[in-house]
Homo-oligomer: A and B are copies of this chain.
Amino acid sequence: MAKEKKQVKAITSMSEDFAQWYTDICLKAELVDYSSVKGFMILRPYGYAIWEHIQRIMDGEFKKTGHQNVAMPVLIPESLLKKEGELVEGFAPEVAWVTMGGSAPLEERLAFRPTSETMFSDHFAHVLHSWRELPMLYNQWCSVIRWEKTTRPFLRSREFWWQEGHTIHETAQEAEQETEQQLWTYANFCKDVLAMPVIPGRKTDKEKFAGAEATYTVEAMMKDGKALQSATSHYFGDKFSRAYNVTFTGRDNTLQYPFQTSWGSTTRLIGAVIMTHGDDNGLVLPPAIAPIQVVVIPVAQHKEGVLDAAYDLEKRLKALDLRVKTDDSEQSNGWKYAEYEMKGVPLRVEIGPKDMEKGQCVIARRDTGEKYFVPLEELESRVESLLKEVHDNMYRTAKERMESNTFAFDSVEAVKEAEERHTCFAKTMWCGDEACEVAMKERAGVSSRCMPFEQEHLGDVCPVCGKRAKKMVIWGVAY
C-alpha cells in the first residue's frame, strides 16, 4: 500500500478554534513535529530556519553591546543548584534529573539545566579576580528542560531552545543599566525584526523570576487577546554573588561582590509571531526572519522561455541578498499559492507568457493579499520597498489591534465584564499589595502582566481595596 500523498489541506479557522488553528499552523507549515518523547518537540527545517534568523540577528545585537558567547555544562550538581534558595525553590518541581552515568548510579544527582545562573555564578567565582575584568558580559545559546505538565509547540514544551545572558558588574547601577538595556534590546528586536508591538515594563514581585530583585518583561498581545511574555531581563543585586562567593578586588583593594543580571528569550518567540500575524491561510512571516522572503512562481511553465524568465527574476533578487526560491515543481499554481501562503512567504512573484509579452511580473503580498503589476525593470526597487512596507504594515496592524483591545478600568467588576466579552488587556491602578493582585485573579480571571514603563494616571485608588494607588498595572490572560 502506498502512503498518502502529501497535500496542502485547509486548516481550522481562527474564529472557530484558535488553539486548534495554532496547532494546525505549527504542523502544516512544517515548523515542528511531535517526537516519541512526551512533551518534547522537533524543530523541522522550516521552523529551525526561522530560529536561525532570530539567533543571527539577535546575536549580532548582543555582540554590538560587547557580549560574548560561552558554553556551560548542561548538567548541574544538586548541591550547586541548591546554594541559592529561592531559585531552586522556583525550579525544583520542573527539573529533570540524571541519576545514572554509564552503568553506574551517580553519587550526586545532576539537574538538566532549567536555567544557568548557578553554573555562571560558579564559573565567575573561578575566573574573576579584579575590578579591571568587569563587566563580564556573557551569553549562551542552548536548550533547557522544564518538566511541564501540559505542553504546546513553542509556547510550553519540556525542552526549548533559548539564549540566556549572564553578566556581572562592578556596581549596582551598572548592573541595573544592563538589565534595562537588554530589555530594550528585546523590545526593539520585537518591533524591528518580528514586527510585533510589545509593552515593556516591570513585573510585580509575585510574577518576578525566582531569586531576582527585579524582573522586566516585554508583553505582547496575541490575536485571541491573550498576553504572551516574550522575553525577560532580571536584576539580581549581589544575591548570587554572595551565595556562590563571587568576589573581586575592588579599586580600593578590598574584596567585593559584583552585581549580576540575566536575560533570556526563547523559541517561544516563534509562537508569538504565529499568533500575532497568522491568518486563516496560515503563517504570515515578517520579512527579516522569513526563510524564503520571495517565492517566484512560473505560470504556464511548460511554455517556452517562462522558466528562464523565472530563474532570471530569482537571480536578480538573490543579487540583492534576498532569500528567494523558484518553485518549478509539477504542482499546480493553485497548490503553490496555497503552500507559500501557508508558509507565510512575504512576497510572491508570478511570471507567465502574457506577463513576458508585457514586460511585467505580478507581485502578491502575503500580509494584505494585494497584487501589483510591476514592470520588469522595476523589480528590484519594488521588491525592496514592498518588503519594507510589509514589515511596517504588519507592525502597524498588530499595534492598532493591541491598542484597540486595551482598556482602562476603575473597578474589578468592569475588568471582569470586559474579559468575559472578549479577552483583552486591562489597565488599572494598583496599591502594590499582593493580596489585591491575587483578588484580581480570583475575581476577574486576569494576572498582572507588568507595570509598564509608560505609566498613565488613571486615578488615585486601587480598584480592589480602595487604598492609595501607586502604579498602573496591565492585566491580562497569559499564555
Contact = CB atoms under 8 A, between A and B. Distances in A.
Interface in A1-26: 1-6
A56 to B, nearest CB: 10
Contacts of A102: 93-96, 147
B110 A37 contact: yes
Nearest to A94: B102
A67 B254 CA distance: 55
A42 B3 contact: no
A139 to B, nearest CB: 10
Contacts of A263: none
A119 B69 CA distance: 28
B145 A74 contact: yes
Specify the main secondary structure of chain A where it touches its partner: mixed
A49 to B, nearest CB: 7
A33 B99 contact: no
Contacts of A72: 35, 42
B101 A99 contact: no
A69 B52 contact: yes
A254 B3 CA distance: 9
A145 B113 CA distance: 14
B96 A100 contact: yes
A48 B73 contact: no
A137 to B, nearest CB: 9
B35 A119 contact: yes
Contact of A45 (B33, B41, B68, B255): B68
Interface string A86-114: 00000011111111111100000110100
B73 A37 contact: yes
A69 B45 CA distance: 6
Given A147-B102, A255-B2, A75 B247 contact: no
Contact of A130 (B3, B49, B253): B3
Interface stretch (A120-128, A222-230, A358-366, A374-382): A120-128
Given A77-B37, A123-B35, A71 B100 contact: no
Nearest to A32: B71
Given A3-B249, A3-B255, A35-B122, 4 more contacts: A33-B127, A49-B68, A74-B112, A112-B112
Please give me the 7 A-B residue pairs with the lowest Cβ-Cβ distance, nearest first: A45-B68, A40-B73, A43-B71, A97-B100, A102-B147, A2-B249, A101-B147
20 contacts: A5-B129, A33-B123, A34-B126, A35-B73, A35-B122, A36-B77, A36-B119, A37-B73, A37-B77, A42-B70, A42-B71, A42-B73, A74-B74, A75-B159, A93-B103, A96-B102, A99-B100, A100-B109, A101-B158, A102-B147
Interface of A: 1-6, 33-37, 40-45, 48-49, 51-52, 68-77, 80, 92-103, 109-110, 112, 119, 122-123, 126-127, 129-130, 133, 138, 142-143, 145, 147, 158-159, 161, 247-249, 253-255
